[in-house]
Amino acid sequence: MATATSPKPADGPAQAGKPGVFQALGGLARRPEAGSFIGMIVVFVFFAIFGGAQFIGAAGAASWLNVAAEVGLVALPVGLLMIAGELDLSIGSVIPAASLTVAIISGYYGLPEILGVAAALAFGLAVGFVNGVLVLRTRVPSLIVTIGTMFAVMGLTLGLAVLLTGATSTALVPTPFWKAIFGQFVGGMFEITIFWWILSVAILAYVLHISPWGNWIFALGGDRESARNAGIPTDKVTIGLFMTSGFSAAFLGVCQVMIYQSAQVVGGQSFIFNSIMCVVIGGVLLTGGFGSIVGIVFGTITFAIVNQGIYFTNFDPNLGSVIIGALLLVAVLMNDTFRALALSTITKKKK
Amino acid sequence: MTDTHPVLELRNVNKSFGPIDVLHDISLKVKAGEVLCLLGDNGAGKSTLIKTLAGVHKPTTGEIWMDGGRVSFDRPKDAADRGIATVHQFGGTFPLMTIGRSFFVGVEPTKGWGPFKIFDRKKANAVAVKAVQSFGITRIDDGDRLIGGLSGGERQSLAIARAVHFGARVLILDEPTAALGVKQASHVLRIVLEAKKRGIAVIFITHQVTHAMAVGDHFAVLIRGALAANFMRGEKSREEITDLMAGGEALADLDAYMESHDGHAPDLVS
Ligand SMILES: Nc1ncnc2c1ncn2[C@@H]1O[C@H](COP(=O)(O)OP(=O)(O)OP(=O)(O)O)[C@@H](O)[C@H]1O
Ligand SMILES: [Mg+2]
């Protein structure tokens, strides 16, 4: 379960004052993830009431945690890109392409899994590299560039799959070792991807909030030109972020093929919008320069709870989409409020 | 001639963008501890001139000298490395970053071992707050505040303090007081004087005579890209400077126009 603590607790101004508690509360409200935390709690309570005991139990938790982990693995790097002022839609076809790569190499041709997995991950890195270079060279917005690479990768995957195997889907029966690290269900219901997701959260939280590189990412999203003039290697950072997202998408594809033991050409498109929604619900500014990893985690959990929680209630499942759409709007409005609060001057009473 | 070399000198600089000539044969000197006010009408070429100094544009012909040696800037970083710092109109360019973080963009202080570098937030905040406070802006006492939450004058002050902290020798300010109220503007002017006292050469662009008169030691007026006047403090009266800033004949023309049109404002044609 997620807790309310953030990786870098706000320690207020040095001078000890009476309004310490209020300042601490004020400090929390000013954090970019404040809105998304409240949203997550509200949604959880809502489904705890209407979903009943089953939703609160282990099976309920597993159902939304599995969804959160899968979309979360790509939402994190997409969020970093968005903080840096870019978007990546190509993940939608990199995920199935990576699944198919593993299935064709290790399933259809029966080569060792390590080859299939390595090829899939290398493919993800390569697509990310191409995205980064194209965005930098052409100066076309990354939204357009990555729509282009998304279709290119989709066409390539379809063409190669049919050419090599004569079909658009391929089966894979992974050996126990590979099934265990990428595709097992812990306790019979929790996907192992949950642990990979947690690892990814830890690494990217370190990069964004603790290491000095995080500052570069925020500066890049704030103003690319000024960031470059300040001596930040903006091109390297941009390409690195696209490669991270390509790698993460391929990693998810590898996990999926190990879990479901088959891969199809289509099937990753839903991750495009879902990951962007998680990121925006998580308080990341669409235009870049603002956001946090904890926020993205809260946004992802919120999305997953609504996505799965609806099946534990008596409501029409289609209502889930309506709730998610409404949630997105509310989140953006709420995040604007919290951002305005963050910008407001703290020390009014003191001179 | 003086006994010391000027910090920065332009020799016969011309700049054209394709067929458009923007700067004609500009020669100018700025000394350490001197405030040079760059005056001129809209479109006179002031911003183009300082962009040439800041390494954004390369002169089409002509030379830039620093401390008696010829220099050439291929990119803004080259100028910055030589101590030329430019502060743009709105100061901080990262409104959603904290004071401490934006102060150290690109030169983050770190602690930690080997590959596990940690951004030293405490140190960044402390240094940034101390730097602004040394310029007399004592209201800024929390490095975790966001830049966007500061007033325009505070942002300008912070940007100037940052440039000085990182060893700027030439400080270029493009209309730093343009969007500010009287009180905030006087704050920024005081900081300009403080920077001058520390031996920094300041190039200050403004459209307001009062602001120029308050801090300037040396005035240069650009009219349509050419240096129309170049004089020291006390050599010209306030009226003469006002007249020059408006492009010389402009105000006289306006008087004549107003008389012949019963005081109706002229249409805005450039
Ligand atoms: N990149 C460019 N390409 C072509 N022309 C340019 C370019 N940059 C500036 N100019 C032209 O050069 C002239 C001087 O512009 P500049 O911005 O230097 O004026 P300014 O003195 O700073 O005016 P203001 O007071 O309005 O800021 C203008 O006529 C402008 O159109
Ligand atoms: Mg200008």
Q: For every residue of B27-84, which 3-state class applies, written as one string?
A: EEEECCCCEEEEEECCCCCHHHHHHHHCCCCCCCEEEEEECCEEECCCCHHHHHHCCE
Whether the CB-CB separation of B200 and B85 falls below 8 Å is answered with: no
**Closest atom of ligand 1 to CA, residue B175:** 27
Residue identifier of the C-alpha nearest atom 29 of ligand 1: B43
Residue identifier of the C-alpha nearest atom 3 of ligand 1: B17
B113 and B141 share one domain? yes
- The CB density around residue A198, as the number of other CB atoms within 10 Å, is 13
Instruction: Kindly state whether residue B262 falls inside one of the protein's structural domains.
Output: no
B38 and B85 share one domain? yes
- Pull the structure tokens for residue A251: 């990693």
pLDDT for position A95: 97
CA dihedral B147, B153, B156, B162 (to 10 degrees): -70
B77 and B192 share one domain? yes
d(CA A234, CA A230): 10
Q: Which of A210, A343, A347 sits opposite B146 (nearest CB)?
A: A343
CB-CB under 8 Å, A13 with B119 = no
- Pull the structure tokens for residue A195: 């642990």
B118 and B81 share one domain? no
- Pull the structure tokens for residue B34: 């001197």
Q: Which of A210, A223, A351 sits opposite B118 (nearest CB)?
A: A210
The pTM (predicted TM-score) of the whole model is 0.83
Domain around B27? 8-93+168-233
Instruction: Kindly state whether residue B13 falls inside one of the protein's structural domains.
Output: yes
Whether the CB-CB separation of A97 and A151 falls below 8 Å is answered with: no
d(CA A328, CA A143): 20
B190 and B229 share one domain? yes
A-B C-beta contacts closer than 8 Å: 85
The single-letter code of the amino acid at A316 is D
d(CA B89, CA B178): 7
d(CA A81, CA A288): 8
- The pair phi, psi for residue A230, each rounded to 5°, is -80, 0
pLDDT for position B68: 87
- Give percent helix, percent strand, percent coil of chain A, each to the nearest 5: 70, 5, 25
pLDDT for position A159: 95
B88 and B177 share one domain? yes
B199 and B226 share one domain? yes
Residue identifier of the C-alpha nearest atom 4 of ligand 1: B17
Kindly report the average pLDDT of chain A as a whole number. 87
Mutate to test the interface with B, among A229, A284, A339, A343 (most CBs of B within 10 A): A229
B226 and B208 share one domain? yes
Whether the CB-CB separation of A103 and A113 falls below 8 Å is answered with: no
Q: Does the beta carbon of B48 sit less than 6 angstroms from any atom of ligand 1?
A: yes
B12 and B88 share one domain? yes
Provide the CATH number for the domain around residue B223: 3.40.50.300
Burial of B173-183, coded b for 16+ CB within 10 Å and e otherwise, reads bbbbbeebeee
Q: Does the beta carbon of B43 sit less than 6 angstroms from any atom of ligand 1?
A: yes
pLDDT for position B228: 85
Q: Does the beta carbon of B1 sit less than 6 angstroms from any atom of ligand 1?
A: no
B174 and B86 share one domain? yes
Instruction: Kindly state whether residue B156 falls inside one of the protein's structural domains.
Output: no
**Closest atom of ligand 1 to CA, residue B49:** 18
The low-confidence residues of chain A, meaning pLDDT below 50, are 1-19, 346-351
Instruction: Kindly state whether residue B51 falls inside one of the protein's structural domains.
Output: yes
Q: Is B7 helix (H, G, I), strand (E, B) or coil?
A: coil
Best mutation site among B13, B20, B206 for ligand 1 pocket (most ligand atoms within 8 Å of CB): B20
Q: Is B221 helix (H, G, I), strand (E, B) or coil?
A: strand
Instruction: Kindly state whether residue B270 falls inside one of the protein's structural domains.
Output: no
d(CA B230, CA B235): 10
**Helix-helix angle A269-281:A91-102, to 10 degrees:** 130
Largest CA distance in chain A: 75
Instruction: Kindly state whether residue B263 falls inside one of the protein's structural domains.
Output: no
**Closest atom of ligand 1 to CA, residue B22:** 12
* Each residue's pLDDT tens digit, A194-226: 999 999 999 999 999 999 999 999 999 988 888
Closest CA to B150 of A73, A347, A327: A347
- Pull the structure tokens for residue A315: 């409501």
B222 and B211 share one domain? yes
d(CA B152, CA A315): 52
Closest CA to A332 of A286, A267, A293: A286
Closest CA to B171 of B151, B194, B137, B144: B194
Instruction: Point out which residues pair with B17 in neighbouring strands.
Output: B20
Enumerate domains of chain A plus CATH numbers. 42-340 (1.10.3470)
Between the alpha carbon of residue B238 and those of residues B208, B222, B242, B255, the distances in Å are 11, 17, 6, 18
Between the alpha carbon of residue B100 and those of residues A168, A239, A245, B270, the distances in Å are 53, 27, 29, 43
Residue identifier of the C-alpha nearest atom 10 of ligand 1: B22
- Pull the structure tokens for residue B40: 């001129």
Residue keyed to tokens 């602690």 = B111
pLDDT for position B22: 93
Instruction: Point out which residues pair with B8 in neighbouring strands.
Output: B30, B66
ipTM, two decimals, is 0.77
B110 and B213 share one domain? no
CB-CB under 8 Å, A229 with B105 = no
Instruction: Kindly state whether residue B192 falls inside one of the protein's structural domains.
Output: yes
* Each residue's pLDDT tens digit, B245-265: 776 555 555 556 556 666 565
Instruction: Kindly state whether residue B222 falls inside one of the protein's structural domains.
Output: yes
Between the CA of B83 and the centroid of ligand 1 the distance, in Å, is 25
User: pLDDT tens per residue, chain B (270 residues)?
Assistant: 444 788 999 999 999 998 899 999 999 999 999 999 998 888 889 989 998 998 889 999 999 999 989 999 988 888 888 999 988 765 557 888 999 999 998 888 988 877 788 999 999 999 999 998 888 788 888 898 888 888 888 888 888 899 889 888 999 998 888 877 888 888 889 889 999 999 999 999 988 888 888 999 999 988 888 888 888 988 888 888 888 777 655 555 555 655 666 656 555 554
Closest CA to A259 of A186, A182, A177: A182
Q: Return all residues near B156 (Cβ < 8 A) that are at least 6 apart.
A: B87, B91, B176, B177, B180, B188, B191
Between the CA of B44 and the centroid of ligand 1 the distance, in Å, is 7
Domain count, chain B: 2
Q: Does A222 touch chain B (CB under 8 A)?
A: yes
pLDDT for position A331: 80
d(CA A61, CA A301): 11
Mutate to test the interface with A, among B56, B98, B105 (most CBs of A within 10 A): B105
d(CA A249, CA A207): 18
Q: Does the beta carbon of B19 sit less than 6 angstroms from any atom of ligand 1?
A: no
- The CB density around residue B199, as the number of other CB atoms within 10 Å, is 12
pLDDT for position B265: 57
Q: Does A67 touch chain B (CB under 8 A)?
A: no
* Each residue's pLDDT tens digit, A162-203: 999 999 899 999 999 999 999 999 999 999 999 999 999 999
d(CA A171, CA A260): 9
Q: Does A289 touch chain B (CB under 8 A)?
A: yes
Best mutation site among B13, B14, B46, B173 for ligand 1 pocket (most ligand atoms within 8 Å of CB): B46
Between the CA of B225 and the centroid of ligand 1 the distance, in Å, is 9
Q: Does the beta carbon of B50 sit less than 6 angstroms from any atom of ligand 1?
A: no
d(CA B197, CA B215): 11
Whether the CB-CB separation of A60 and A304 falls below 8 Å is answered with: no
CB-CB under 8 Å, B110 with A222 = no
Whether the CB-CB separation of A265 and A157 falls below 8 Å is answered with: yes
CA dihedral A66, A71, A77, A81 (to 10 degrees): -160
- Pull the structure tokens for residue A51: 């979903």
pLDDT for position A136: 96
DSSP H or E stretch at residue B86: strand B84-87
Q: Which of B107, B119, B148 sits opposite A214 (nearest CB)?
A: B119
d(CA B66, CA B57): 17
